[in-house]
A and B are shown apart, each in its own frame.
Chain A
Amino acid sequence: MAKTLTLSVGLALAATCVSAAEIAPSDVTYEDGAVAQSLSGAAGDATRGREIVGNKSLGNCVACHMISDQAEVPFHGEIGPPLDGAGERWSEAELRGIVANAKMMFDGSMMPSFYKTEGFIRPGKAYTGKAADDTFGPILTAQQIEDVVAYLTTLKE
């Protein structure tokens, strides 16, 4: 994966700290649905990841997944499988691929692609119902993806 890239303005705005090693959404390379390298070039923080996974306006993963470790978060959904033990079922690279763009791992998956900026039909400006504008970026930043991945690897049965 080429690390020399010019970051789009949109991404630069979306990311809190942009490092030179960051891989832009359209430059991510998937191998059998997995992504080997850190998207931000830095390690993830599992504590922050735990917060993102349960937070309605960030990952909102619990909308679709039951996670025993998030018992304090009310209302877990049942659209996808429970994530208990996900850190045992999948490697870090696989988890990164699933969170960045689950459709690469699971063909036609209902799970949203959290690190993708192209190929949408009528993309909107967040939840306003209005058309996307030049603030449009991935749902999660590169570092947030890393944080979520770091958290998921801690989920053991």
Chain B
Amino acid sequence: MIKRTVALGALGSLLLAAAPALAGPVDDTLVVNDEIEMTTRTAAPEHLSDVMDEVISGWHFRGDETRLMQADDFDNPGMIFVEQARDSWGEVEGTEGKSCASCHNEPESLAGVRAVYPKWNEEAGEVRTLEMQVNDCRVNQMGAEELKYTSVPMQSMVALISSVSRGMPVNVAIDGPAQETWEKGKEIYYTRFGQLELACANCHEDNYGNMIRADHLSQGQINGFPVYRLKNTKLNAAHDRFKGCIRDTRAETFAPGSPEFVALELYVASRGNGLSVEGPSVRN
């Protein structure tokens, strides 16, 4: 159950969005389906100790209605895509006559996986996102076609894999063989791109809680991805968000799935270490 301080109509939320007096994260707690208790704010991970004390899910920066939608799977439109992915999970595809279920049984067998991705893959010698791993299984285990990185079937599958980890703390490894990629992602995070010369940090580290025009800035966390956005009524990949945020600095952006975004994803994920996996979450 969700604790609501005020009951607001659609008009009320619109008016409030314009009021700077509301600056800062909303004081609220998220329990999904009266069952999964989400850690939506927690002490910042060690590597952030010199820049912030607390990490906060983007959920706290959205309006009352949007937050409420995420508290119940019947109200969360992202769960429709999860159900579709459950159907694909058992469908045989490719030359090997296999489905995901052939090797992984129930999707629930992948509980905990979302929380540690992106992750170093020893055999391949690379940091892999969930999307890369799903495609690796499709191509090399099933003899099936790759799914496009930000496509509906791919993001639905990633949402399914995330959903079985909901409530578990994000815990990506940033040391050992992943460190080089992590450092690269960190550098991107602090680079002031484009004609507006803005870095992720300018908005999401220095100004979270503040309004930028009509938008209430969050910390830009990715524990809730894939995100169902009311704006485009579909599941959005983390890389889609990165792409949009860099484009909005009047910059030449990077492509979803590019090495730059894989590195950035690892770094941004590590900034949310300790927050619960929320995907698929709901945002505006």
CA distance A62 to B243 in the complex (A): 24
Q: Which residues of A contact B18 (CB under 8 A)?
A: 74-75
Residues 129-153 of chain A: 1 if any B CB is under 8 Å from the residue's CB, otherwise 0? 1111000000100000000000000
Say if the beta carbon of A85 comes within 8 Å of chain B.
no
Say if the beta carbon of B183 comes within 8 Å of chain A.
no
Say if the beta carbon of B135 comes within 8 Å of chain A.
no
A-B contact count (CB 8 A): 85
CA distance A128 to B250 in the complex (A): 8
B212 touches A64 (CB 8 A): yes
CA distance A66 to B202 in the complex (A): 19
Say if the beta carbon of A124 comes within 8 Å of chain B.
yes
Residues 202-224 of chain B: 1 if any A CB is under 8 Å from the residue's CB, otherwise 0? 10001100111110000000000
Q: Which residues of B contact A66 (CB under 8 A)?
A: 20
B20 touches A122 (CB 8 A): no
Interface residues on B, range: 20 to 34
B211 touches A121 (CB 8 A): no
State how many angstroms separate the Cβ of B159 from the closest Cβ of chain A.
25
Q: Which residues of A contact B197 (CB under 8 A)?
A: 112-113, 120-121
Q: Which of B17, B194, B207, B253 contacts A121 (CB 8 A)?
A: B194
B252 touches A62 (CB 8 A): no
A60 touches B213 (CB 8 A): yes
State how many angstroms separate the Cβ of B105 from the closest Cβ of chain A.
41
Interface size on A, residues (CB 8 A): 29
Say if the beta carbon of A77 comes within 8 Å of chain B.
yes
B195 touches A139 (CB 8 A): yes
A75 touches B214 (CB 8 A): yes
Q: Which of B212, B213, B247 contacts A128 (CB 8 A)?
A: B247
Q: Which of A75, A121, A132 contacts B191 (CB 8 A)?
A: A121
CA distance A121 to B188 in the complex (A): 11
CA distance A121 to B247 in the complex (A): 12
Known: A124-B253, A139-B250. 15 other contacts (CB 8 A): A62-B213, A63-B212, A63-B213, A75-B17, A76-B213, A77-B212, A77-B213, A79-B212, A120-B251, A121-B192, A124-B251, A127-B250, A129-B246, A129-B253, A132-B252
